[in-house]
Amino acid sequence: MEDLMMKFKVAGLVADLMPNIRLIQASGHFMFNYHADNSGALHTLRLGYCCLHLVFCLLQYGFTFGNLVVEKDDVNYLAANTITVLFFTHCITKFVYFAIRSKLFYRTLGIWNQANSHPLFVESNNRYHALSLKKMRTLLICVGMTTILSAAAWTGITFIGESVHNIKDPNNENETITEEIPRLLVKSWYPWNAMSGTAYYATLVFQIYYVFFSLAHANLLDSLFCSWLIFACEQLQHLKEIMKPLMVSNKVNGNNKLHLHVNIRQVIVIL
């Protein structure tokens, strides 16, 4: 693993995806490749940084699930809490899945990380590469801005309206009364009193961190996958443009389909 991590070359698809890769690493994903210096001490620090994010996310996810269990008797709260838990399950699943299957991502990037092109097709390759790079940068900017705005809107809406929920009246089981709850981004059960004071502000900051980084974990990984698709599609367009003269030539000369297949295979070998 150490040797694989040290063999890092900024070229091809990796160079195009480097801003996305850096943001993924900053968000706490277990992506340890693509660092200029990956010595033992730095690798340990990066591993600790990622593990800390994982522990925090799992901890808050557990508190959110705990609230689902506590409020299971009320159908409305049960439905709302289930949707919340499922949403964050999606985020935590991507985080854990990437940590477990990261070698497959490295392998895929390594396969596509080839910057060479035959001299005959350099102009076409550069044109389609520029198009794919522009689309990938635009996608990353849109995803990044949307993530920041979503986290800011989620935080802002927390302070609008009352922060209460309904519970059964202890004196009359057929009636409900309202009870004040902590004004937080995500309804959660905590083993401490988060209603006011230092505990409330610490919990609020922790939830702001949790919401932002959970969104970043999911969205940045989606952005990476979509960027691969953009790159692959532009390469297919590049290949299609190369094929056009051969197809026209074969049609004019009346060659059979076998000849065309041989030409296509030759061009693919050249590329």
> Which residues are CB-contacts of 9 (< 8 A; sequence separation ≥ 6)?
113
Q: How confident is the model at residue 95 (pLDDT cuts 50, 70, 90)?
A: very high
Residue 159 φ/ψ, nearest 5 degrees: -95, 15
Question: Burial, 24: exposed, middle or buried (Cβ in 10 Å; 0-12, 13-18, 19+)?
Answer: buried
* CB distance 259 to 241 below 8 Å: no
CA–CA separation, 168 and 186 (whole Å): 22
211 has pLDDT over 90: yes
Is the entire prediction scored with pTM above 0.85? no
* Domain spans of the chain, in order of start: 2-270
pLDDT digit string (tens) for 68-90? Answer: 999 888 888 899 999 999 999 99
